[in-house]
Amino acid sequence: MVLCDVTKLIMNSFVTWSQRQNALNMKPLKDKIALITGGASGIGKIMVRLLLERNVHVVIWDIDQQKINETIAEFSNKGAIKGYIVDISDVVQIQNTAKKVKEEIGIIDILINNAGTVVGKYFHEHTIDNIQKTMEINANAPMIITNEFLADMMQRNSGHICNIASSGGLVSNPKMAVYAASKWSVIGWSDSFRLEMRQLKKNIHVTTVMPYYINTGMFDGVQSKIPILEPEKVALTIIKAIEKNKKMITIPGYIYRLTRTAQGLLPLKAFDWVAGSLFGIYKTMEHFTGHKK
């Protein structure tokens, strides 16, 4: 009993110390300007609300004008919010809209590259348009958008870029070949970019986020042994990661450690059995329907 009590006391002390350290490391977001792509629906919309509650000025980029209007109407009483309609698969639209934002709003402090798309098909069933659109939106757009706002951040030596990738960028999965390719791309670029900012001694933080399936409608029909994530918790985890200047997170947290350890230790055949048979990951997309139009 005494040993148990001592162990519990040590653990509680460690947790309290960790909480204090996290509190010390938290950066205030108040009065910052944040831009969220895909900010009028899903976790993007929830992050808009969470940032407004932290007194952040929020700029939404989205392809759906009606949803932008609805989001602004819903949250306008919470703080400063403005929306721009933009198709981020179009480089010219990105450039023109970025210019408008800088003229009308000012320098962006926090950029959250959140918008994404998925086509749940076997690779041979994809059209050329499917492939190009997925790569343009998921892989190319975060780089191009970041490039539009990075010069100002570097000149001011301050900023934060958060890139929403996917656990699909860690583990291969049938019916996700193109989506996985796009998210692997984001992870590789995002973390390399983080290292570049550190090497250049720039006070620009980069956070790479790799969530599992999220219950937003984007992955409707997915069946998983691993629990599908709730949007509110995911959005809050991402905002807290920005506040704490986290470099890389998976949601849930064990995904990265589990996959990387298993991939490093197991032969491919054994890993396929663990991922495919034990966790059922390779069958999750069998009944995928996605957003219902």
What are 64-118's pLDDT values in tens digits? 999 999 999 999 999 999 999 999 999 999 999 999 999 999 999 999 999 999 9
Segment holding 193, helix H or strand E: helix 177-199
Q: Are strands 159-164 and 110-113 parallel, antiparallel or unpaired?
A: parallel
Burial 95-121 (b: 16+ CB within 10 A, else e): eebbeebeeebeebbbbbbbbbbbbbb
Global pTM exceeds 0.95: no
Each residue's pLDDT tens digit, 22-68: 444 678 999 999 999 999 999 999 999 999 999 999 999 999 999 99
Instruction: Write the CA distances from 88 to 172, 228, 249, 291, integer angstroms.
Output: 26, 27, 25, 19
Catalytic residue list contains 122? no
- Please tell me the distance from the alpha carbon of residue 165 to that of residue 11, in angstroms, as a whole number: 33
Please give the pLDDT value at position 4: 45
Identified catalytic residue from 84, 179, 212, 213: 179
By the 8 A CB rule, do 36 and 60 touch? Answer: yes
Segment holding 25, helix H or strand E: helix 2-25
By the 8 A CB rule, do 35 and 83 touch? Answer: no
Each residue's pLDDT tens digit, 198-248: 999 999 999 999 999 999 989 999 999 999 999 999 999 999 999 999 999
Structural domains in the chain? 29-283 (3.40.50.720)
Sign of CA dihedral 195, 19, 111, 209: positive
- Please tell me the distance from the alpha carbon of residue 130 to that of residue 128, in angstroms, as a whole number: 5
**Closest to 243 measured CA to CA, from 45, 24, 2, 35:** 24
Structure-token match 């970019």, residue found: 193
Each residue's pLDDT tens digit, 238-274: 999 999 999 999 999 999 999 999 999 999 999 999 9
Burial 172-190 (b: 16+ CB within 10 A, else e): bbbbbbbbbbbbbbbbebb
Tokens of residue 15, six digits: 């947790």
Walk across the sheet containing 33-37 and list its strands: 81-85, 57-62, 33-37, 110-113, 159-164, 204-211, 248-251
